[in-house]
Amino acid sequence: MEVQKIGIVGAGQMGNGIAHVCALAGYDIIMADMSSEALDKARALIDRNMERQVSREKITAEDKATALGRIKTTLKLPDLGQTDLVIEAATERESIKTAIFEDLIPHLQPHTLLTSNTSSISITRLASRTDRPEKFMGFHFMNPVPVMQLVELIRGIATDEETFKACHDVVERLGKTAATAEDFPGFIVNRILMPMINEAVYTLYEGVGSVQSIDTSMRLGANHPMGPLELADFIGLDTCLAIMNVLHDGLADTKYRPCPLLTKYVEAGWLGRKSGRGFYDYRGETPVPTR
């Protein structure tokens, strides 16, 4: 099956990035969200990010104009019914994702593939709540989508080979690299990355080092491009906590226990860059450590 039209659920950080790269690759896109404001912001952000690519001579002005013309937006989920592939990129909460699929399924064509950009939730379990578990799989992009080269492809227990091949072909057309992961909590990237971030929070919690010393140590001592606490703020502390809870619950191992300090920050609403405060305070001209 050849995918030509892609539906994207969610116009947030991940959804607009997925729309961006898919439109540049020549796919017709329809992006749905509950908020017209979110859709307007997403379109404006895609425009700015593509303009940055034009200025760096990654794409031409004509490429940009053509790609933007391929992106349509809607407030009505049923409008995604005529697409060949749906990529769900909503909030990382299973109840929300399940509700989206339930609302969407009556409007889909028989051949439409369903995928989720979830970073940790069971693909098999999500697929089991749909009418097409064999045509369902995980399609996990990395953030920021236009920059990061990896896409994790996660098969559920029922995912058939035709679905996997069609999704793999999409990744190749995007010019990205696919890594195949089995359907276990956190898949590959977050199974390794999130415990490292959680351990960095424990290192802060126990007073081993300050925010600045922890991030400096990992940047200069391990050659990471971004310190783990800065990275947590970029990802969103609520997302980090949600993934740690999935790992802890799904693998039943105490080594995945979320740090109490991470929980406390989320309870305070200090979620990182998107809320203005996390392990750093972003409300001034330069980020300042909050501990």
pLDDT given at position 120: 86
**Per the annotation, does 13 bind a ligand?**
yes
Contact 211, 224 (CB under 8 A): no
Pairing of strands 5-9, 28-32: parallel
DSSP labels, the chain: ----EEEEE--SHHHHHHHHHHHHTT-EEEEE-S-HHHHHHHHHHHHHHHHHHHHTTSS-HHHHHHHHHHEEEES-GGGGGG-SEEEE---S-HHHHHHHHHHHGGGS-TT-EEEE--SSS-HHHHHHTSS-GGGEEEEEE-SSTTT--EEEEEE-TT--HHHHHHHHHHHHHTT-EEEEE-SSTTTTHHHHHHHHHHHHHHHHHTTSS-HHHHHHHHHHHS--SS-HHHHHHHH-HHHHHHHHHHHHHHH--GGGPPPHHHHHHHHTT--BGGGTBSSEE-SSSS-EE--
Q: How far apart are the first and last CA of the chain?
A: 53
**10-residue mean pLDDT series, the chain (291 residues):** 95 96 98 97 97 97 98 97 97 93 96 95 96 98 95 97 98 98 95 97 98 98 97 95 94 97 98 97 96 92
**Per the annotation, does 149 bind a ligand?**
no
pLDDT given at position 1: 78
Question: How far is residue 68's CA from residue 104's CA, in Å, rounded to a whole number?
Answer: 25
**Per the annotation, does 7 bind a ligand?**
no
Instruction: Please state which of the four CATH numbers 3.40.50.300, 1.10.1040.10, 3.40.640.10, 3.20.20.450 is assigned to the domain occupying 190-289.
Output: 1.10.1040.10
Residues carrying an active site annotation: 119, 140, 152, 190
Nearest residue to 21 via CA among 228, 230, 174: 174
Domain ranges for the chain, please list them: 5-182, 190-289
pLDDT given at position 207: 97
pLDDT given at position 91: 87
pLDDT given at position 60: 97
pLDDT given at position 240: 95
**Per the annotation, does 14 bind a ligand?**
yes
**Per the annotation, does 143 bind a ligand?**
yes
What is the pTM (predicted TM-score) of this model?
Answer: 0.90
Are 5-182 and 190-289 in the same CATH fold?
no
**Per the annotation, does 10 bind a ligand?**
yes
What fold does the segment set 5-182 form as a domain?
A: Rossmann fold (3.40.50)
pLDDT given at position 265: 98
8-state DSSP, 140: E
pLDDT given at position 92: 85
Residues 6+ apart with CB under 8 A from 133: 124, 127, 156, 158, 159
Contact 232, 190 (CB under 8 A): no
